[in-house]
Amino acid sequence: MTWFGLYSYWIVVVLMMVGFYIVIAQGNLVKKIVGLNIFQTSAFIFFISLAWREDGTAPIALPDVTEYANPLPHVLILTAIVVGVALTAMGLALVVRVHEAYGSIEEDDIHRQDEQQ
């Protein structure tokens, strides 16, 4: 049952595809950002999963413990989460500005307005 033991990686793959599909298929600018978030989160879960070790505990020095989870991916993902938050904020700020300029956040609408110009 090794494939079941790797279930967190299957979740990563599903989330990744769902997020990426939303980014490509959605015409709504806010929904695209949501898709991007799901896509990025799948990468974060991927990193967290690969830190796991059988019988490992939290990486704190304890007298009778020898197996620890790898702390490095956690640290990396803390950084990546911060980056992700900044990206979401930036993306949403841009959507607000687009809405002010065009009065719409639907891609089709916006392109039609640009073509009429």
Partner 1 sequence: MSEHLPALQVVIALTAAPLVMMMNRFPRLAWGVTLVTCWATLVVAVLLLLQVSDGSVIHYEMGGWAPPWGIEYRVDGANAWVLLIIGLVSAVVMPFALRSVEQEIPADRIGLFYSAFLLANAGLLGIAITNDAFNIFVFFEISALASYALIAMGRDRRAMLSSYQYLIMGTVGTTFLLIGIGFLYIMTGTLNISDLAMRLPEVTETRTIRAAFAFIAVGISLKLALFPLHLWLPNAYSFAPSMVTVFLSATATKVAIYVLLRFIYTAFGFEFSFEELSVAWVLMPLALLGIIIPSVIAVFQEDVKRLLAYSSVAQVGYMILGISFATALGLMASVVHLFNHAITKAALFMAVGCLVYRLGGVSLSRIAGVAERMPWTMAAFVVAGLSLIGVPLTAGFVTKWHLLQAALMEGLWPVAVVLLVISLVATVYIWKVVEAAYFRPAPEDAREIREAPLSLLVPTWVLTATTIIFGVWAQFPISAARNAAEALLGVPQSW
Interface with partner 1 by CB under 8 A: which residues? 16, 20, 23, 29, 32, 36, 39-40, 43, 46-47, 50, 73, 76, 79-80, 83, 86-87, 90-91, 94-95, 97-98, 101-102, 110, 114
- The distance of closest approach from Cβ of residue 18 to partner 1 in the complex, given in angstroms and rounded to an integer, is 14
Q: Tell me whether residue 64 or residue 114 sits nearer to partner 1 (CB atom).
A: 114
- The CB-of-53 to partner 1 minimum distance in angstroms stands at 12
| Least distance (Å) between residue 94 CB and partner 1 | 5
Amino acid at 27: G
Q: Are 19 and 41 in contact (CB under 8 A)?
A: yes
Closest to 29 in 3D by CA, of 86, 107, 108, 97: 107
C-beta closer to partner 1: residue 56 or 91? 91
How many helices (DSSP H) and strands (DSSP E) are in the chain?
5, 0
Token representation of residue 5: 């033991």
Neighbours of 12 (CB within 10 A): 21
Smaller CB separation from partner 1, 24 or 63: 24
- Give the separation between CA 19 and CA 36, rounded to whole angstroms: 6
